[in-house]
Amino acid sequence: MNIKQFVKENRNDWKQLEQLVDTFSKHRSHLSKNDINSFDLLYQKAAQNLSFSQTYFQNEEVTAYLNGLVSKSHNILYKDQVSSFKQIYHFLSSKFIRLLLEQWKFIIIAMCLFTFGGLASFFSVYEDPLHIYSILPADMVQSVDPDRLGSNEHSANDASLMSASIMTNNIQVAVLAFAGGITFGLLTFYLLIYNGILVGALAALFWHYDKTYEFWAYIVPHGMIELTAIFIAGGAGLLMGYKLFVPGNFSRIYQLKEQAKRSVQLLLGTIPLFVLAGVIEGFITPAKISLEAKYLVAIITVVGLILYMVIGKVLSEKRTRLNLDS
């Protein structure tokens, strides 16, 4: 059996199960015995389909779809009333990580687009510092004075203003990047390159003033987390755009609906990252500590992100196995 036959033979059952999951979620107390029996039978069949799909179509979209459908059905079937805190913990410790792992290629692409824009503008301003006026907004250029960065009197205030400007811009970029997927990813593509251009131009300007070490010391402590959040949102937008271009065995309307749900969840998952970045920016960036200490904070944030991903992956795989064994 090929994948088209597999989807065709089981599509109606999956749609019925989706409808029952939605009904169970909204009107659990008004269900008939027939509804409950149908739900149980369709859930068991979907679990069998998932097992088959994982064996023969491991890297296909239908496997990810069935995994989500079976997980939602399992949660409905064995649902206990849990606190909001537990729901948030489950999302951040498992579901968010699973969503990231499913689209890691698009996150890498988002990072590459940002890097490409950054390198292009860096070498442009490196060749001629006056190019910065044609790249950066006028208010940003006027608010940045490389000669004052690192001075005892003004460094904290200048760095704080510069970082706040960049952080505000990055949050806006993250929101627009994921929403840009509806434009077949074209807006997301543009935003990632353009914002890489902004950072690259600033880096080149500080290079000319021999302030590169100071510049990155004020950027990377919170910037590593902020950029990670942007790449996640950008990856979600690019994935949505790709699915609209290449919908596979599903309609574009279905892909838009499903990928929009995924993108919103991914965007929600980046909120703690921006909050953490804001805390670092408010207390570490302007702090009168050595530049080396600020770089150390950046290293700690990177290590923390890696550990979060690794531990989350383990927890997600463990929960998936428990769901399948239930």
What is the full per-residue pLDDT of the chain (326 aa) written as tens digits?
688 888 888 888 888 888 888 877 766 555 666 777 788 788 888 888 888 887 788 778 888 888 888 888 777 765 544 445 677 777 888 788 888 888 889 999 999 999 999 999 999 999 998 898 888 888 777 777 777 665 544 455 555 555 556 566 667 778 888 889 889 999 999 999 998 999 999 999 999 999 999 999 988 998 899 899 999 999 999 998 998 888 877 778 877 877 887 888 888 888 888 888 878 877 787 788 899 999 999 999 999 999 998 888 887 777 666 655 55
The count of C-alpha atoms lying within 13 angstroms of the C-alpha of 213, restricted to the half-sphere facing its C-beta, is: 6
Identify the CA nearest to 270 among candidates 314, 310, 317, 237.
Answer: 237
Checking 80-86 for CB contacts under 8 A at 24+ apart, the result is: none
For residue 149, the model assigns a pLDDT of 66
For residue 81, the model assigns a pLDDT of 41
Give the number of other Cβ atoms within 10 Å of residue 267's Cβ: 19
The count of C-alpha atoms lying within 13 angstroms of the C-alpha of 271, restricted to the half-sphere facing its C-beta, is: 9
Residues 6 or more apart whose Cβ sits within 8 Å of residue 297 = 221, 280, 284
For residue 159, the model assigns a pLDDT of 53
For residue 82, the model assigns a pLDDT of 46
For residue 80, the model assigns a pLDDT of 44
For residue 238, the model assigns a pLDDT of 92
Q: Which two tokens stand for residue 228?
A: 């990670």
Q: Which two tokens stand for residue 197?
A: 């251009």
Q: Which two tokens stand for residue 55?
A: 């064996």
Decide: pTM greater than 0.75: no
- The DSSP result for 160-173, as a single string, is HHHHHHHHHHHHHH
For residue 281, the model assigns a pLDDT of 79
Cα–Cα distance, 113 to 266 (Å, whole number): 19
- The DSSP result for 69-84, as a single string, is HHHHHHHHHT-----H
For residue 170, the model assigns a pLDDT of 67
For residue 266, the model assigns a pLDDT of 86
The answer to whether residues 8 and 59 touch, using CB atoms and an 8 Å cutoff, is no
